[in-house]
């Protein structure tokens, strides 16, 4: 019984990262920021990026036991750099960061 | 990730690794440390090392490490099962006891083959209380690295059987009080009860079982009692430092 709980806890990254509501829906916010960047709505992109970061912060406590710390740090880095690129309204680099963050997100817990 | 979160992850992973190891060691049975072969010893170190990595290496996911832990424990379990069921496998995996002294003669080639020095042999003999090689008839190096020694008959201690002396049965003693608490189950097993025990304690000057550190009853019916308050007047101090 104890082993089954441990296995779920340590191998359940894929399940645990799934959104529990609107507030922690990381993939949805990633998509929103991408749309904002594509349409060059920079102010909205910054607002959505804050929401994205807040959603990500809500997910971390759930997944921190089952995923690599380096993966968490990588997404943290992507989001920090993304904020910088949005500030200077740099479309290509913003897209690169979003793409990379999405790749890390998809690989998280696999 | 903050330092606090890192510490929390380490604590949680540590608790999981600790309980997992505890479960696995129970599964693997009660093989005593002194009976472990060299290979068992290495297996133990490997499993412990995986558990340690699982606790502190946050750069890797814990799941593959748990799988590693399960795999190694599973391998040990399978190995134990094979050696239990298949004697040839047991001989191959655990090795066989080797005679290193036969009829008083040291088997030099065997020692060389096993990379076992004469100094090691003498040391092991000394730990068995043998300081004179001429006393040894047979010495066998067991698979766990321990030396079993059979002394020549003229150097073996005389037993009651040699002298045709009658002896009484001697079994395992039962603990009746442990750390100030009466062990009711053991009392029942020896067909005695609490009033009897309390009467015995009163005879020896004790008012309550809570004054007793340990009390045990041997098969001859003798009660051994050790109280918390020691009554030794002149303590022997074996320490060289003050």
Secondary structure in 3-state letters for B75-121: HHHHHHHHHHHCHHHHHHHHCCCEEEEECCEECHHHHHHCCCCHHHH
Which CATH number belongs to the domain containing residue B204 in this structure? 3.30.240.20
Closest CA to B21 of B64, B52, B58: B52
Whether B130 and B184 share a structural domain = no
Contact call for A9 and B16, based on CB within 8 A:
yes
Q: B11: which chain A residues are within 8 Å (Cβ-Cβ)?
A: none
Residue B60: inside a domain: yes
Contact call for A68 and B5, based on CB within 8 A:
no
Which of the four pLDDT bands, split at 50, 70 and 90, describes residue A6? confident
Distance CA A30, CA A27 (A): 5
Closest residue of chain B to A70, computed from CA coordinates: B59
How large is the C-alpha radius of gyration of chain B? Answer: 26
Q: What per-residue confidence (pLDDT) applies to A51?
A: 94
* pLDDT, mean over chain A: 90
Closest residue of chain B to A5, computed from CA coordinates: B16
Whether B113 and B150 share a structural domain = yes
Q: B63: which chain A residues are within 8 Å (Cβ-Cβ)?
A: 7, 10-11, 13, 66
Residue B241: inside a domain: no
Q: What per-residue confidence (pLDDT) applies to B80?
A: 82
Q: What is the pLDDT of residues B42-52, one digit of tens each?
A: 888 998 999 99
Distance CA B101, CA B107 (A): 6
Which CATH number belongs to the domain containing residue A26 in this structure? 1.20.120
Residue B207: inside a domain: yes
| pLDDT, mean of residues A81-97 | 94
Q: In what order do the strands lie in the sheet with B223-227?
A: B181-182, B174-178, B212-217, B223-227
Closest residue of chain A to B21, computed from CA coordinates: A3
**For testing the chain A interface, which of B3, B63, B73 should be mutated: the one with the most A CBs within 10 Å?**
B63
Q: A70: which chain B residues are within 8 Å (Cβ-Cβ)?
A: 59
A16 pLDDT more than 80: yes
| pLDDT, mean of residues A62-91 | 91
Domains of chain A: total? 1
Residue B65: inside a domain: yes
User: B54, B69, B91: which is the final residue of a domain?
Assistant: B91
Residue B139: inside a domain: yes
Structural domain of B51: 3-91
Q: What per-residue confidence (pLDDT) applies to B36?
A: 67
The two structure tokens encoding residue B19: 């309980």
- In sequence order, the 6+-apart residues with CB closer than 8 A to the CB of A56 are A26, A75, A76, A79
Q: Would you say the ipTM is above 0.95?
A: no
Whether B119 and B141 share a structural domain = yes
Contact call for B16 and A10, based on CB within 8 A:
yes
Structural domain of A56: 2-107
User: Given CA atoms A88, A89, A91, A94 in this order, what sign does their dihedral have?
Assistant: positive
Whether B85 and B10 share a structural domain = yes
Q: Which residues of chain B have pLDDT under 70?
A: 1-4, 30-36, 242
> How close is the nearest chain A Cα to the Cα of B2, in Å?
11
Q: What is the pLDDT of residues A29-57, one digit of tens each?
A: 999 999 999 999 999 999 999 999 999 99
The Cβ of residue B234 has, within 10 Å, a number of other Cβ atoms equal to 5
Which of the four pLDDT bands, split at 50, 70 and 90, describes residue A80? very high
Q: What per-residue confidence (pLDDT) applies to B241?
A: 74
């Amino acid at each position: 019984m104890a082993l089954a709980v441990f296995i779920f806890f340590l191998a359940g990254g894929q399940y645990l990262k799934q959104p529990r509501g609107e507030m922690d829906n990381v993939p949805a916010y990633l998509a929103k920021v991408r749309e904002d960047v594509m349409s060059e709505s920079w102010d909205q992109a910054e607002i959505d990026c804050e929401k994205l970061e807040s959603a990500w912060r809500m997910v971390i406590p759930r997944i921190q036991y089952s995923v690599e710390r380096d993966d968490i740090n990588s997404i943290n880095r992507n989001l920090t750099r993304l904020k910088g690129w949005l500030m200077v309204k740099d479309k290509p680099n913003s897209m690169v960061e979003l793409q990379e963050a999405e790749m890390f997100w998809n690989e998280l817990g696999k | 990730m903050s330092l606090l979160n890192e510490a929390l992850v380490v604590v949680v992973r540590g608790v999981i690794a600790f309980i997992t190891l505890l479960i696995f060691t129970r599964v693997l049975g009660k093989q005593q440390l002194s009976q472990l072969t060299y290979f068992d010893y290495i297996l133990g170190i490997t499993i412990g090392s995986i558990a340690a990595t699982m606790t502190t290496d946050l750069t890797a996911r814990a799941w593959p490490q748990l799988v590693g832990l399960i795999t190694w424990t599973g391998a040990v379990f399978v190995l134990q099962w094979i050696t239990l069921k298949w004697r040839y496998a047991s001989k191959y995996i655990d090795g066989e006891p080797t005679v290193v002294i036969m009829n008083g003669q040291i088997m030099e080639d065997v020692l060389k083959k096993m990379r076992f020095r004469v100094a090691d042999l003498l040391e092991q003999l000394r730990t068995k209380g043998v300081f004179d090689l001429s006393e040894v008839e047979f010495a066998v190096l067991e698979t766990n690295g321990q030396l079993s020694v059979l002394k020549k008959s003229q150097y073996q201690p005389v037993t009651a059987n040699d002298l045709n002396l009658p002896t009484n049965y001697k079994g395992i003693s039962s603990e009746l009080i442990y750390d100030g608490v009466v062990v009711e189950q053991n009392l029942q097993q020896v067909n005695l009860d609490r009033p009897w025990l309390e009467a015995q304690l009163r005879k020896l000057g004790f008012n309550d079982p809570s004054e007793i550190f340990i009390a045990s009853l041997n098969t001859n019916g003798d009660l051994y009692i050790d109280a918390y308050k020691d009554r030794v007047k002149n303590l022997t101090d074996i320490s060289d430092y003050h």
